[in-house]
Amino acid sequence: MGTYHAGSLALQELLGVRDRADHVGRSLGQDIKPVAAAFLALQPLLIVGAASPETGRVWTSALTGTPGFVRATGPRRMSVATDAAHESDGWPNEPNGSRPPGARDPLATALSTSGTPLGTIALDPRTRRRMRLNGRLRPAPRGFAVEADQVFSNCPKYIQRRESYETVGDRTPGTDRLLAELGPRERDFIRAADTFFLATVHPGGADVSHRGGNPGFVHVTSPTELTWPDYPGNAMFLTLGNLRTDPRAGLLLLDWTTGDTLQLTGAAHTTVTAEGRRTVRFTLAEARWTPAALPLRWSAPEYSPANPSG
């Protein structure tokens, strides 16, 4: 499989960025470099995305744990511990345990099924760094591993800096609610967001990307529809290329203070103006609201200087 598939190539041609995309695409590889391995070992949060084997819908979920719960265990393998401390296996001791998605999470089955195409992104608000690793899942005794097909880092654009976090050990996830449409609370939650994660799929696998901006950059146009601008990025158009060939998409929004999460699944389509401006329109199929889903409490954001003001 080449660096780009047909959807990404079509957008690159349409927007006249093929040469730039070819240059940037040289950063895509299969190996986890030492600097990337060191980065992974410091992270308390990993975002994962895949298609549910039960429904075919695409979802995005969050995994958390003591730094070290995600680590490189080979040049092309990332391992994720989703069980509590097991020092005999070489996993770090985790006094608070790691927190995988609950049994009702829409990706619970996908994360235990061998061969699942899985997209992942580790994003560190403290340093405004992010790393994406996409591949195939292999179950492991204490969690799972991902055999890497694609490993790369992105620039710090649109990442809000959060200088520190703490783990709230006694925070217990509340009862999740499944929704067919967005109520007033969910709409306000989305309008206040400065970050979300977007999972997409293509015939060769899955991918999770980050989207950020000043609060209000995601627009709620109806109880079942959102739109957001696609800001200028690296010109690869991996996410929008995926959507061009398969509109299934999953969004994850989180409250960086309370740990509340909102997961959305549905279909997304992109419109491109004559000037090259892109807008993504997402139509909701189902949503899942979970209070206190994550045990992390982050400090207040410093908004990225790259965020458009309008």
HSE-CB for 279 with a 13 A CA cutoff: 11
pLDDT at 87: 38
pLDDT tens digits along 227-259: 999 887 776 777 888 898 999 999 999 999 999
What residue spans define the domains of the chain?
6-298
pLDDT at 237: 77
pLDDT at 14: 75
Ranges under pLDDT 50 in the chain: 1, 85-97
Which CATH code of 3.30.390.30, 2.30.110.10, 2.60.40.10, 3.30.360.10 fits the domain covering 6-298?
2.30.110.10
Query: In angstroms, rounded to a whole number, what is the distance separating the alpha carbons of residues 73 and 263?
Result: 30
pLDDT tens digits along 148-185: 999 988 789 999 999 999 999 999 999 999 999 999 99
The whole-model pTM stands at: 0.92
pLDDT at 8: 75
